[in-house]
Amino acid sequence: MDTARLNRPHAAGIGLLSVGVALAAGHLFAGFTDPGASPYLAVGNTAIDLAPPWLKDFAVSTFGTKDKPVLLAGMAVVIAIFGAVAGLVSARRPLPGSILLGVLGVLGVLAVLKRPDLGQLAPLVPAASLVAGVLTFTWLHGKALDAAREAGYEAARHLPDRPDRYLAGERPAGERPASERPASERPAGERPAGERPADPARRGLLVAAGATVAGAGVAALTGQLLGNRVDVQASRRAVGTIRPAVAAAAIPPGADFAAAGTPSFITPNEAFYRIDTALVVPRVRAESWSMRVHGMVDRELRLRYDDLRNRELVERTVTLTCVSNEVGGPYISTANFVGVPLRAVLDEAGVQAGADQLVSRSVDGWSCGSPTEVMLDADRAMLALAMNGEPLPAEHGFPVRLVTAGLYGYVSATKWLADLELSTFDAFTPYWAKRGWARRAPIKTMSRIDRPGAFQRVPAGRTVIAGVAWAQHRGIEAVEVRLDRGQWREATLATEVNLDTWRMWRLDVDVAKGGHTVEVRATDKIGYTQTDKRADPVPDGATGWHSVSFSAT
Tens-digit pLDDT profile for residues 270-308 = 999 999 888 888 989 999 999 999 999 999 999 999 999
Q: Of the candidates 149, 157, 208, which has an alpha carbon nearest to the alpha carbon of residue 6?
A: 149
**Other CB atoms within 10 A of residue 442 CB:** 19
| Greater pLDDT, 33 or 293 | 293
In eight-state DSSP terms, residue 158 is T
- Determine the pLDDT at residue 112: 86
- Please give the radius of gyration of the chain, using alpha carbons only, rounded to the nearest integer: 31
How many residues does this entry show for the chain? 553
Domains of the chain by range and CATH? 8-180+199-227 (no CATH), 258-435 (3.90.420.10), 446-552 (2.60.40.650)
pLDDT level of residue 104 (50, 70, 90 thresholds) = confident
- Determine the pLDDT at residue 166: 44
Cβ pair 206, 14 in contact under 8 A: no
Cα 38 from Cα 27, distance rounded (Å): 5
pLDDT level of residue 1 (50, 70, 90 thresholds) = low
Cα 475 from Cα 469, distance rounded (Å): 9
- Give, in degrees to the nearest 5, the angle at Cα 462 between 456 and 464: 55
Provide mean pLDDT across the span 451-480.
Answer: 97
- For 181-205, letters b (16+ CB in 10 Å) and e give eeeeeeeeeeeeeeeeeebebbebb
Asked if residue 182 has pLDDT above 70, the reply is no
- Determine the pLDDT at residue 169: 45
Provide mean pLDDT across the span 320-337.
Answer: 96
Rounded to a whole number, what is the distance in angstroms from the first to the last CA of the chain? Answer: 80
Handedness of CA 331, 469, 500, 309 (dihedral sign): negative
Cα diameter, the chain: 100
Cα 79 from Cα 84, distance rounded (Å): 9
- Determine the pLDDT at residue 449: 98
DSSP secondary structure letters along 212-228: HHHHHHHHHHHHHHHHT
- Give, in degrees to the nearest 5, the angle at Cα 133 between 129 and 138: 150
Question: Has this prediction a pTM greater than 0.85?
Answer: no
Which amino acid is located at 274 in the chain? R
Cα 359 from Cα 367, distance rounded (Å): 7
Find how far residue 458's CA is from the centre of its chain.
37
Which pairing describes strands 332-341 and 357-362: parallel, antiparallel, or unpaired? Answer: unpaired
Handedness of CA 399, 403, 409, 414 (dihedral sign): negative
pLDDT level of residue 174 (50, 70, 90 thresholds) = low
Lowest mean pLDDT among 7-21, 136-150, 190-204, 224-238: 190-204
Asked if residue 17 has pLDDT above 60, the reply is yes
Average pLDDT in the chain = 89
In eight-state DSSP terms, residue 120 is T
**Other CB atoms within 10 A of residue 174 CB:** 5
Cα 533 from Cα 514, distance rounded (Å): 28
| Greater pLDDT, 197 or 99 | 99
Which pairing describes strands 290-295 and 417-423: parallel, antiparallel, or unpaired? Answer: parallel
- Determine the pLDDT at residue 67: 81
Give helix then strand counts, H and E, for the chain.
Answer: 12, 19
Cα 212 from Cα 549, distance rounded (Å): 55
Asked if residue 479 has pLDDT above 50, the reply is yes
Asked if residue 164 has pLDDT above 80, the reply is no
Asked if residue 325 has pLDDT above 70, the reply is yes
The helix (H) or strand (E) run that includes residue 115 is: none
Which amino acid is located at 393 in the chain? P
Cβ pair 479, 520 in contact under 8 A: yes
Cβ pair 22, 130 in contact under 8 A: yes
Cα 320 from Cα 338, distance rounded (Å): 14
Which amino acid is located at 169 in the chain? G
pLDDT above 70 covers a percentage of the chain that reads: 91
- Determine the pLDDT at residue 27: 87
**Other CB atoms within 10 A of residue 6 CB:** 23
pLDDT level of residue 54 (50, 70, 90 thresholds) = confident
